[in-house]
Structure 1
Amino acid sequence: MNKPTIITVPILPFGMLHSHLIIGATGCVLVDTGTPGSEDKIERVLKKHGRSFRDVTLIVVTHAHTDHAGSAARLRELTGAPILAHAGDLDYYERRKEMTYCVTHWWGPLFLRSGVPGEPYLPFTPDILLQDDATIDLSSYGIEGVARHTPGHTAGSVSVELSSGDALVGDLIASGVFLGGFIRTGRAMRPPFEDDPQAVSGELMGMVEAGMQRFHMGHGGPLAAKEVRRHALSLRNLNPGRKYGMQAIGCACSEPKRAELVK
């Protein structure tokens, strides 16, 4: 078995936000695309490791929040790679529906009012659209592992599980104070938004029990299975938080023109 190389792509400093590249024997899979305009940061990391956009065989978008899906449409143009995502978030990818957010921390509504979580991105339709609890083998994209539906953070959240024991889980879990932040980076925490903590608990526990050893996420990390298990158990009896829409809290997020999104 050829163990893949997992490369962190910094999108924001201090581990606050990153994407990941999985470099396998015959393919390179990008997991999440960062905020709108992140393609240059991703290209720099590719070049640093002797790769280019044309080496990307697949783009996996773990969920529809702008910090994970924001550059997907542009990166598909640049790489020619298909986008894989889940139908549960399709309305948001295609910009046919306003995203709502179940906050997990007292500062969640303040974060929403900043407008950052609602930053618009260029709409797209995934080329590979998972349905229900589907799983897809990634061997045809040069990676030994699967991508599968892991709902809880959003209805359409997707994770990648590799035969090496690495799991890339988007926002099913975060770590550190202030999203990756400065302290307690090895301590799991809830992300700012989470639709269904009990569903997240079940998905994380399932991965731990299936033998996943290292968990890579969009904010902070990576974390060992023992810490992920502790966090998953802490979620078991929690109920979803209050749900907010961007307009409902008074955030007037303007829609940028296409020319502003596509450089």
Structure 2
Amino acid sequence: MQTMSIHIHPIPMGMGIAYLIESAAGLLLVDAGLPHWEQAVLRRIHALGRKPGALQLIYITHAHLDHYGSAAALRRASGAPVVIHRADADAIARGRTPLGSIRGRGWLLAALLPLAERVLRPEPTLPDILCDDGDALDLDLPFAATVLHTSGHTPGSSCLIVEGEGDQDRIAFAGDLVSNTTHPHGQRYFAHDWAILHHNLARLQALHPQWVYPGHGRAPLDDATLQRLA
């Protein structure tokens, strides 16, 4: 495997952020934003001088509509398969957003969810590939991409760990396990199991990624910041 040489393009997708990982060999997308935001990704692909067919895979970190909403439309445009952890496969296939236990400001967001589902109509998306903890994605790209199952926020929440050859060539795409909106913090609004969520945050911290790209908030977190989260 060659030394990792990639560019990461954050793309605002309504409520959250999708990440387009660019290499000379092709593209990988992490998360797909709200429904009807697929043009934001397609415009970025075209701005890079690429065609949608350069997209090799659409990786969804968890089954919430602000992360998988445009996945089906992007699959149609690019031909890229949609990948998600098997524990969230049923929810995304039914176009659902399971919230679990709610804390703090999450009650306001939960109250708005039925309206958002009626207005946005998230498209049920049958995944092409179901992944498990430790799976290495089959990609023709100059880096390794491995699944870290970080159940807690949803049963199938996961991070994508992207690595080159060196210890400093490790970055993580964390979905909603961490956020960096007003300030860096761990998930504090929704979880199907809070204890497991905190356990899996510690698993991510133990990997000491150089950078962590959150599902909300455009600035990545460095490892020192990640270690301070609880």
Q: TM-score, normalised by structure 2?
A: 0.85
1:114 is paired with a residue whose SS is helix
1:1-263 equivalent positions in 2, closer than 5 A: 1-12=3-14, 16-95=15-94, 99-105=98-104, 107-115=105-113, 118=117, 119-131=120-132, 133-141=133-141, 143-163=143-163, 164-177=169-182, 184=183, 187-220=184-217, 221-231=219-229, 234=230
Match of 2:75, SS?
helix
Q: Distance in 2 between matches of 1:97 and 1:19?
A: 19
Larger displacement relative to structure 2 (107-116 or 75-84):
107-116
Deviation at 1:117, TM superposition (A): 5.9
Unaligned runs of 5+ in 1: 178-183, 235-263
Q: Say which SS state the counterpart of residue 226 (structure 1) adopts.
A: helix
Structure 1: how far apart are the matches of 2:110 and 2:211? 30
Q: Tell me which moved more, 140-149 or 64-73.
A: 140-149
Q: Tell me the amino acid that sits aligned with residue 224 of structure 1.
A: D
Q: Residues 95-120 of structure 1, C-alpha deviation per residue, up to 9 Å, x if partnerless?
A: 18772432232x22222222366453
1:10 aligned partner, one-letter code: P
Q: Is the 8 A contact 1:212 1:225 kept in 2?
A: yes
2: CA distance, partners of 1:40 / 1:96: 20
Offset of residue 27 of structure 1: 2.1
Measure, in 1, the Cα distance between the counterparts of 2:99 and 2:153. 12
Q: 1:148 to 1:141 in 2, by over 3 A?
A: farther
Question: Aligned equivalents of 2:88 and 2:223: distance in 1?
Answer: 27
AA paired with 2:126? T
How much has 1:130 moved relative to structure 2? 1.5
Structure 1 contact 26–143 (Cα < 8 Å) conserved: no
Q: In 1, distance between residues paired with 2:225 and 2:51? A: 35
| RMSD after superposition | 2.2
**Which residue identity does 1:129 align to in structure 2?**
L
Shift of 1:28: 0.6
Distance 1:192 1:47, change over 3 A: farther
Residue-pair matches, total: 219
Deviation of 1:87 after TM superposition, in Å, equals 1.2
> CA shift at 1:30, angstroms?
0.5
Runs of at least 4 residues of structure 1 off by over 6 A?
Answer: none
Q: Which residue of 1 aligns with 2:166?
A: none
Please give the secondary structure, in 2, of the residue aligned with 1:140. coil
Task: Give percent identity, aligned residues only.
Answer: 30
Give the conservation status (yes or no) of the 8 Å contact 2:134–2:146. Answer: no
* Contact 1:37/1:70, CA 8 A, preserved across alignment: yes
